Chains A and B, each alone.
Chain A
Amino acid sequence: RKEVEQDPGPFNVPEGATVAFNCTYSNSASQSFFWYRQDCRKEPKLLMSVYSSGNEDGRFTAQLNRASQYISLLIRDSKLSDSATYLCVVNVRSSASKIIFGSGTRLSIRP
């Protein structure tokens, strides 16, 4: 089983729609969680950290459920510029901290 799993998509939604992605992680030693965004042929960039209490940044809301070991990202009022691959990232603190990327979910927003 992969340490971090995501639905690969692609998600193809109209502009203005709300879209949600989930990510599950297998290692209960995972301690911190993040969503990254990667545009085609570009480097990944941090979108937001995910806190236990849930957090919001504009149109983006991230949630963490430690009991079920999943993380979610909700995008409201989607824009064309939101088209990208969204990567779930987990910092697993076992013998040494390892930052593991999920396989990514591709999102395409259509006009």
Chain B
Amino acid sequence: DTEVTQTPKHLVMGMTNKKSLKCEQHMGHRAMYWYKQKAKKPPELMFVYSYEKLSINESVPSRFSPECPNSSLLNLHLHALQPEDSALYLCASSQRRGVESGELFFGEGSRLTVL
């Protein structure tokens, strides 16, 4: 079982809805990530938080808004999404950022469908 927990596992929303994805880890990791994965494609980096501060935003549209309330929690707020935003959203954590931080622990993902 993964030690990174994501909720909800599945989400269907309309283009005018506001929803949030949640991610939690209790491994004491200080770096947390959001990735987006479309079918048959690799995960694409969206955001990186390091010590609860946003350190990387990969030019993600503002309809995706990340939030890191504390070192264990990471949220992704969704507003006015488009159907092409439908994908698997993966949260990951690592012990720290830096050279050795490629060891990512992923949650099972939240599968989002935008109608």
Q: Is chain B found bound to chain A in the same assembly?
A: yes
Q: How far is the CB of A29 from chain B (nearest CB, A)?
A: 11
Chain A interface size, as a band, is 20 to 34
Per the bound structure, the CA–CA distance linking A97 and B99 in Å amounts to 7
Q: Which residues of A contact B109 (CB under 8 A)?
A: 43
| Interface range on chain B (Cβ under 8 Å from partner) | 20 to 34
- Residues of B2-35 at the interface with A, using a CB-CB cut-off of 8 Å, are 2, 33
| Interface 9-mer from B39-47, B61-69, B70-78 | B39-47
Question: Is B102's CB within 8 Å of the partner chain A?
Answer: yes
Is A43 in contact with B107, judged by CB distance below 8 angstroms?
Answer: yes
CA–CA, A89 and B43, complex, Å: 10
- CB contacts (< 8 Å) of B105 on chain A: these are 46
B82 sits at the interface (CB 8 A):
no
Give the A-binding residues of B (Cβ under 8 A): 2, 33, 41-45, 48, 55-56, 90, 97-109
A44 on interface, CB distance cutoff 8 Å: yes
By a CB distance below 8 angstroms, the chain A residues around B100 are 32, 91
Q: Which 4 A-B pairs have the closest CB atoms?
A: A43-B106, A101-B42, A91-B102, A34-B102
Say what secondary structure dominates the interface of chain A: strand
Q: Does A31 contact B (CB under 8 A)?
A: yes
Whether, in the assembled complex, A66 has its beta carbon less than 8 Å from a beta carbon of chain B, the answer is: no
Does A49 make an interface contact (CB < 8 A)? yes
Cβ contact within 8 Å between A97 and B42: no
Residues in A75-111 with C-beta less than 8 Å from chain B:
87, 89-91, 93, 96-104
Tell whether A42 is near chain B: CB-to-CB under 8 Å: yes
